[in-house]
Amino acid sequence: MPDSNAIVILTGAGISAESGLETFRSADGLWAQHRIEDVCTPEALARDPALVHRFYDLRRAALEGVAPNPAHGALARLEAQWPGDLLIVTQNVDDLHERAGSRQVLHMHGELNSALCAACDRRTGWTGPLPPAVDCPACGAPALRPDIVFFGEIPYQMDRIEAALSRADMFVSIGTSGAVYPAAGFVRMAQAFGARTLELNLETSEGSHWFDESRLGPASELVPAWVEEMLAS
């Protein structure tokens, strides 16, 4: 049953595009430069760990040269002033939501600034390069890997996400192509639980037809305008 003021916001690479981070499925995006099978699957990590670690090292290094944009800032403002629950479920592995001041952020596909031990599953905050076979500070095994959910792996905190969707009065999707599951299915789950659904995206996505409303344009313009609307309501 929707809680009168609970909002769940799903973000994707498009919200970070105007900060200068690459998206995946644009013509010159990350998946145009690298095959998913070579850098974002468990098989790739086993076959060529140096290549996979380097792919994420480059993206972690790129974080140092970028900053949150007005879309991230607007969501942080909404969280600070909104009377009900607000959760950002992000597919992004950057830390721009946090650097903009958001606190309720759930990284369902992992984070660049974190290393995961393949032996004991413990996480360690990480900045700078992460070469293969670094010792885990918790268990000592030479098994640290990027803390990233690869294709074929289970996204993080699905129970918490589904619980939030079941209580949401509103579900807003920002900057995602709706190409990757289970994230792409959240709009239908939220709708089934009675939520209103809104999409804010640069162009029509694979999921646009599921939304009650879809607004097209850059996140740095659409998101602040939507937040002002919400705070004025």
Residue ranges binding ligand BV8 (CB under 6 A): 12-14, 17-18, 23-25, 29, 40, 91-93, 109-110, 148-155, 158, 175-177, 179-182, 201-203, 205, 218-219
Closest contact distance (angstroms) between CB of 73 and ligand BV8 is 14
**Residue 39 CB burial class (10 angstroms; 0-12, 13-18, ≥19):** buried
Q: Please say which residue, 168 or 183, places its beta carbon nearer to ligand BV8.
A: 183
- Map tokens 């040269």 to a residue: 65
198: tokens are 């809104």
Closest contact distance (angstroms) between CB of 171 and ligand BV8 is 16
The full 3-state SS of 137-163, as one line of letters, equals: CCCCCCCEEEEECCCCCCCCCHHHHHH
Strands (E), the chain: 7-11, 86-90, 105-107, 110-117, 123-125, 144-148, 170-174, 196-201, 213-216
Closest contact distance (angstroms) between CB of 140 and ligand BV8 is 27
Q: Please say which residue, 30 or 143, places its beta carbon nearer to ligand BV8.
A: 30
Q: Please say which residue, 86 or 224, places its beta carbon nearer to ligand BV8.
A: 224
Q: Please say which residue, 128 or 152, places its beta carbon nearer to ligand BV8.
A: 152
Closest contact distance (angstroms) between CB of 95 and ligand BV8 is 13
For the chain, first and last CA: distance in Å? 22
> Does the annotation mark 97 as catalytic?
no
Q: Pick the catalytic residue: 53, 72, 97, 109?
A: 109
Active-site amino acid positions:
109
